[in-house]
Chains A and B, each alone.
Chain A
Amino acid sequence: MAITYTSGEQVEVYRFSIPATILIPLTAVFLQAWLPLRFHFFTIFDLPLLVVIGFATARRNPLAGLFTGAAIGILQDALTGNPIGLYGISKTVVGFGASSLGIKIDVENAGARFLLTILFYVVHEVVYFFIARVLVGLHMAWSWPHEIGSGVANAALGILIYTLLDRVKQRT
């Protein structure tokens, strides 16, 4: 795995074991499908998105990020009633963007992670909204307060998720 430098400072690049690479996204998708039945408020969270951001910022490899995002997004799409690709495209963009940004800025501290998650949550929703309206023709309404609120909630949960991911990531 290549090591990238920013401003002359070495940036840590991490990898995840194969079981973690498979099981963590699966668990995230499973919990995302199961928890809202018991706790309806959980629908505002997007656990698979947080996993995509976590993986992408840790690996710092745009290709790995976009493929991880595409795979998790398509898996999530497969469980919905909508056409496959809505989440796939959105999370591909997020995976690519998060890993690209992870090369350039420090994403190890909680504040940066918090802001990064809000940013990518909004990007994710914008891409999804655009595709759903323009390509699929779904009638969707956009609400900034709702999106910002959900973004903050996801960012708060993201801090916890990233801390858990830190425990399973391995330095290359």
Chain B
Amino acid sequence: MDVLGRYRNLIVLVGVLFAQVLGLAVQVRRTTDNEPTRLIRIWAVGAITPLEKTLNWVQTASGGIWHNYFYLRGVRAENRELKQEIEQMRLEQARISQDADQARRLQALLGFKEQFISQTMAAQVIGSSGSELSRAVYLDKGEKNGIKPDMAVITKDGIVGKVLRVYRSTALVLLIDDQTSGVGSILDKSRLQGILRGTSSGDVVLEKVMSDETVPVGEQVLTSGGDGIFPKGLAVGTVTQVSMGSDLFLNIHVRPSADLNRLEEVLVITKVDERQTEPDKAAPVRAADILAERLPTVPPKPEIPAGAAAKSSAMPTNGVAKPGAVTNPPAAPSGTVPSKASIGAATPGISVTKPSIAVNSAAAKSVASATPNSGTAKPATGTSLNPAATKPTTGATPNSAATKSASGAASYPAATKPVSNAMQNPAATKPPTAAATNPAAAKTGTTNPTASVVKKATPPNATAANPTAGTTPPAGAPKKPAVKPTSITGPGIAPKAQPAPQDPPQ
């Protein structure tokens, strides 16, 4: 008993330590996936987070008063600048959307499944774990808001982390710079895959990239989707330092895109859909469309004579492929500038062509001969807004729906290789379309500005509906049919370059 009394403090210390070590061992051994949240965590979070929420609310409210009422200097100028920036970004978006559309068509062709972020929830960061050794933050949304473990958390700049634990009205998010986190990542250009981890010093490193690979500093890191938490393609960060690591792997330091030290509002991805990629049937916004919106509307033109209409409608029966006939929407009203929707809808069916390649001078002249007032198009307008082609090819490539652009790429950088069109519309083989979506050309009085068939220019049998016809011209077809889009009707094509006598003076 004397011994117990003498070493009482030490015995209690050992007992308390032993109990905690035992508890630790049990926690480490158990898998955390199906383990319910411990009561002590619920109590601790329940005691701390209401204070954090209250303080956060007070801070937000006081900050809101300052920002909404007192700190308004320069807002108008800023607004003006932002509007200009939006205009620029819309044009940029138009270009990018074309690329995305092409990518979707390719993916659809290859049967890819794509992940879409279909639902997110905004949440506010109200607290942290308070430890350098556990990098985690608390959100003001929890189970009652639909948050579940393993949901991805992002900001507009990049990924933040994943939901680790969910409480009734709060959630704990493990940041990507925590040393227990791991994010499947891929380098943007080199397409090397690795695992992104945090370190005890707070840095973020990309692991498992072989040392014989070359990774330039400044390369973007994206999510690879391999972890099953983050959808593919989200921004992760930028490579800041590359050195030889241990074993056979590189030591790649990454600066996270999202500022993990100044998190305020985040988005929780609550729903990710996985579906077969489908080409975008919605009207894409193109630079040409945006410009077309700003052009003055041309008054309606009289109907094209029935004979001409019949002539043009007979074209498909002659075996001439109608590019876009499958996917194009109904024709726009005669004599009007094609709307954004109509042009956009026509786009998938139009031969998107490679820029800056040989131009059929005859065709170019033909297109150029149409102007809104005189019935001949201005070369600049006709070509710059027209990604469609004037020169039918002899089908060198399997995908050659291949019409070559006159000079469409000059101001329309999204004009791309013809492969995309072939994916979308195999029947659209070699239509030497001219100004298919050219708003200016449309003013010349086509009955269907979205049509894209060139009469006379293409022998009827040269572009048969057979998808393979585009690659190998049928016997007897001219090697290089002269493209003279003198009469242009039908879906997805520019109008014939002809005078428009009924055009009132602008």
Residues in A neighbouring B263, C-beta threshold 8 A: 37
B101 adjacent to chain A (CB < 8 Å): no
A67 adjacent to chain B (CB < 8 Å): yes
B180 partner, pick from A35, A87, A100, A138, beta carbons under 8 A: A138
Contact, CB under 8 Å: B131 / A80: yes
- Quick one: given A36-B128, A141-B199, are A135 and B12 in contact (CB under 8 Å)? no
Number of A-B residue pairs, CB cutoff 8 Å, is 142
**B260 nearest in chain A by CB position:** A40
Residues in B neighbouring A34, C-beta threshold 8 A: 51-52, 55, 127-128, 130
Residues in A neighbouring B24, C-beta threshold 8 A: 83-86, 89, 131, 135-136
**B203 nearest in chain A by CB position:** A141
Kindly identify, within residues 43 to 89 of chain B, every residue whose CB is under 8 Å from any CB belonging to chain A: 43-45, 47-48, 51-52, 55
Kindly identify, within residues 18 to 54 of chain B, every residue whose CB is under 8 Å from any CB belonging to chain A: 20-21, 23-25, 27-28, 38, 40-41, 43-45, 47-48, 51-52
A85 partner, pick from B23, B41, B129, beta carbons under 8 A: B23
**B27 nearest in chain A by CB position:** A83
Contact, CB under 8 Å: A80 / B136: yes
B358 adjacent to chain A (CB < 8 Å): no
Residues in B neighbouring A79, C-beta threshold 8 A: 41, 44-45, 48, 127, 129-130, 138
CB distance from A33 to the nearest CB of B (A): 4
Interface membership of chain B positions 186-219, coded 1 if the CB is closer than 8 angstroms to chain A and 0 otherwise: 0000000000000111000000000000000000
**A93 nearest in chain B by CB position:** B17
Residues in A neighbouring B411, C-beta threshold 8 A: none
B150 adjacent to chain A (CB < 8 Å): no
**A127 nearest in chain B by CB position:** B17
Q: Please count how many residues in chain A sit with their CB below 8 Å of the partner chain's CB atoms.
A: 48
A29 partner, pick from B41, B43, B130, beta carbons under 8 A: B130
User: Considering the chains assembled together, what is the distance between the CA atoms of A75 and B130 in angstroms?
Assistant: 12
Contact, CB under 8 Å: B41 / A30: no
- Quick one: given A92-B17, A93-B17, A141-B199, are A33 and B52 in contact (CB under 8 Å)? yes
Contact, CB under 8 Å: B13 / A92: yes
B340 adjacent to chain A (CB < 8 Å): no
Residues in B neighbouring A128, C-beta threshold 8 A: 133
A151 adjacent to chain B (CB < 8 Å): no
B179 adjacent to chain A (CB < 8 Å): yes
Of listed B21, B27, B130, B261, residue having the most chain A CB within 10 A: B130
B9 partner, pick from A26, A62, A138, beta carbons under 8 A: A62
CB distance from B320 to the nearest CB of A (A): 66
Contact, CB under 8 Å: A33 / B130: yes
Residues in B neighbouring A37, C-beta threshold 8 A: 125-128, 137, 263
Residues in B neighbouring A81, C-beta threshold 8 A: 129, 134, 136, 164-165, 172, 174, 178, 180
CB distance from B165 to the nearest CB of A (A): 7
- Quick one: given A29-B130, A62-B13, A84-B38, are A140 and B179 in contact (CB under 8 Å)? yes
User: Considering the chains assembled together, what is the distance between the CA atoms of A44 and B12 in angstroms?
Assistant: 31
Residues in A neighbouring B41, C-beta threshold 8 A: 78-79, 84
Of listed B55, B129, B136, B174, residue having the most chain A CB within 10 A: B129
Contact, CB under 8 Å: A88 / B129: no
Contact, CB under 8 Å: A43 / B200: no
Contact, CB under 8 Å: A132 / B133: yes
Give the size category of B's interface with A. 35 or more
Residues in A neighbouring B138, C-beta threshold 8 A: 33, 79
A76 partner, pick from B131, B172, B201, beta carbons under 8 A: B131
Residues in A neighbouring B43, C-beta threshold 8 A: 78
Contact, CB under 8 Å: B27 / A70: no
A52 adjacent to chain B (CB < 8 Å): no
A172 adjacent to chain B (CB < 8 Å): no
User: Considering the chains assembled together, what is the distance between the CA atoms of A128 and B200 in angstroms?
Assistant: 13
**A33 nearest in chain B by CB position:** B130
Residues in A neighbouring B16, C-beta threshold 8 A: 66-67, 70, 92
CB distance from B262 to the nearest CB of A (A): 7
Residues in A neighbouring B132, C-beta threshold 8 A: 43-44
Interface membership of chain A positions 121-152, coded 1 if the CB is closer than 8 angstroms to chain B and 0 otherwise: 00000001001100111111101001000000
User: Considering the chains assembled together, what is the distance between the CA atoms of A94 and B34 in angstroms?
Assistant: 34
Contact, CB under 8 Å: A85 / B165: no
CB distance from B46 to the nearest CB of A (A): 10
Contact, CB under 8 Å: B130 / A36: yes
Contact, CB under 8 Å: A63 / B44: no
Contact, CB under 8 Å: B172 / A63: no
- Quick one: given A67-B16, A85-B20, A141-B199, are A33 and B27 in contact (CB under 8 Å)? no
A74 adjacent to chain B (CB < 8 Å): yes
Kindly identify, within residues 95 to 151 of chain B, every residue whose CB is under 8 Å from any CB belonging to chain A: 125-134, 136-138
Kindly identify, within residues 71 to 108 of chain A, every residue whose CB is under 8 Å from any CB belonging to chain B: 74-76, 78-89, 92-93, 96, 100
CB distance from A80 to the nearest CB of B (A): 4
Question: Could you tell me which A residues sit within 8 Å of B by CB distance?
Answer: 26, 29-30, 32-37, 40, 43-44, 62-63, 66-67, 70, 74-76, 78-89, 92-93, 96, 100, 128, 131-132, 135-141, 143, 146
Question: Could you tell me which B residues sit within 8 Å of A by CB distance?
Answer: 8-9, 12-13, 16-17, 20-21, 23-25, 27-28, 38, 40-41, 43-45, 47-48, 51-52, 55, 125-134, 136-138, 164-165, 172, 174, 178-180, 199-201, 261-263
21 A-B pairs within 8 Å (CB atoms) are namely A30-B48, A30-B52, A35-B130, A37-B125, A37-B263, A43-B131, A44-B132, A63-B9, A66-B13, A70-B20, A79-B45, A79-B48, A84-B23, A84-B27, A89-B17, A92-B13, A135-B24, A135-B25, A137-B28, A139-B200, A141-B201
Q: Besides A36-B130, A80-B133, A96-B9, 13 other CB < 8 A contacts?
A: A29-B44, A34-B130, A37-B127, A63-B8, A63-B12, A75-B44, A76-B131, A78-B40, A79-B138, A81-B174, A85-B27, A135-B28, A146-B201
